[in-house]
Amino acid sequence: MLTTLRRIVSGGAMNFGRSGLVSFATVLIMTATLVIIGTLLFLSAILSNTLAAIEDKVDINVYFTTTAAESDILSVQADLKKRPDVSSVSYTSRDQALADFRTRHADDQLTLQALDQLGENPLGASLAIKAIDPTKYAGIVNFLSDGSNISGGSSIIERINYYQNKTVIDRLTAAIQATEKAGIAIVILFALASVIITFATIRLAIYSARDEIAVMRLVGASNMYIRGPFIVAGIIAGIVSALISLALFYPASYYAGKSLSQWLGGFNLFSYYTSHFAYLFLVLVGSGILLGGIASFVAVRRYLRI
């Protein structure tokens, strides 16, 4: 069994080498396909990192009326902290809100003078709420809107800035989904091109080896023994293409990581490449083996009648 397997692998390597220019074309188109797959992996990582960074900055702020008692607000905070969908709740008192407002408008003397003329603090206290997941904010807002669930009652709440932040997250999520769909469509197109090229390679290889195949049939060689080398040749093409793709991503991610890190919010493509090399290797090599192996198998079944 091992001897037969070695002969099949050896025959596949010979078939791959014999095909010459056609094998080169197969490797070239497969490499282009795998490069696109790898680029989508990098793009997905960039978009996920961007979304995570935005989600980390996004929260909902609950602004209370100026007449709300601090004890009632702290009671609301305590009730929110008990919820499993709430990650954190921070309280900003009226005095702290006023101090922050003065700091932000330190260079705007007209605004500060108008504030001093009021003679009282016009700002209410607030709570900044972070959910464990952006999809949980709707439930938290519903909880806050239902006065029966809050010790202080919903009448002390002036407004909640949920919908502005929700729009940002929804738009970014929609952009990511659209990018992923476009990427999948491109991968499918190049995969089809790879399959067509592989079909042509196998067909030419079968035609070139027609005399050897006839001899093997006469001596009683098994179907797998005859078909195996052609399938192995397709798998070799896929592996070679994957290795070339990984090699191309090394310098590309190195230079892009340096120049684009600031634009990507600190996300470094080269760091991602090195830290996720095993993942990239498995995906690209696995995709190459599947692409070359399956295409070769289908082509052999179609063109090599045994």
Q: Which residue has the higher pLDDT, 81 or 8?
A: 81
CB 11 within 8 A of CB 232: yes
What integer best gives the mean pLDDT of the chain? 79
Instruction: Give me the mean pLDDT over the 277-306 stretch.
Output: 82
Tokens of 141: 């807002």
Per-residue pLDDT of 168-186, as tens digits, reads 767 766 776 777 787 778 7
Highest mean pLDDT among 23-27, 97-101, 258-262: 97-101
pLDDT of 57 strictly over 80: no
Q: Which residue has the higher pLDDT, 123 or 224?
A: 123
- 3-state SS assignment for residue 68: coil
The pLDDT score that the predictor gives to residue 244 is 95
What does CATH list as the number for 58-162?
3.30.70.3040
CB 250 within 8 A of CB 273: yes
pLDDT category of residue 277 using cuts at 50, 70 and 90: very high
pLDDT of 166 strictly over 90: no
Instruction: Give me the mean pLDDT over the 259-285 stretch.
Output: 87
Alpha carbon 34 to chain centroid, angstroms? 16
Q: Which residue has the higher pLDDT, 190 or 107?
A: 107
The pLDDT score that the predictor gives to residue 278 is 94
Instruction: Give me the mean pLDDT over the 122-135 stretch.
Output: 85
Instruction: Give me the mean pLDDT over the 281-294 stretch.
Output: 88
pLDDT category of residue 148 using cuts at 50, 70 and 90: very low
The pLDDT score that the predictor gives to residue 205 is 66
Count Cβ atoms below 10 Å from residue 6 Cβ, excluding itself: 10
Per-residue pLDDT of 207-221, as tens digits, reads 666 666 677 667 666
Element (H, E) at 90: strand 86-92
Q: Which residue has the higher pLDDT, 52 or 148?
A: 52
Instruction: Give me the mean pLDDT over the 122-131 stretch.
Output: 88
CB 33 within 8 A of CB 291: yes
pLDDT of 71 strictly over 80: yes
How distant, in Å, are the alpha carbons of 88, 89, 135, 157, 208 from that of 132? 8, 11, 9, 23, 63
All structural domains of the chain with their residue ranges? 2-54+169-303, 58-162
The pLDDT score that the predictor gives to residue 56 is 73
The pLDDT score that the predictor gives to residue 174 is 76
pLDDT of 297 strictly over 70: yes
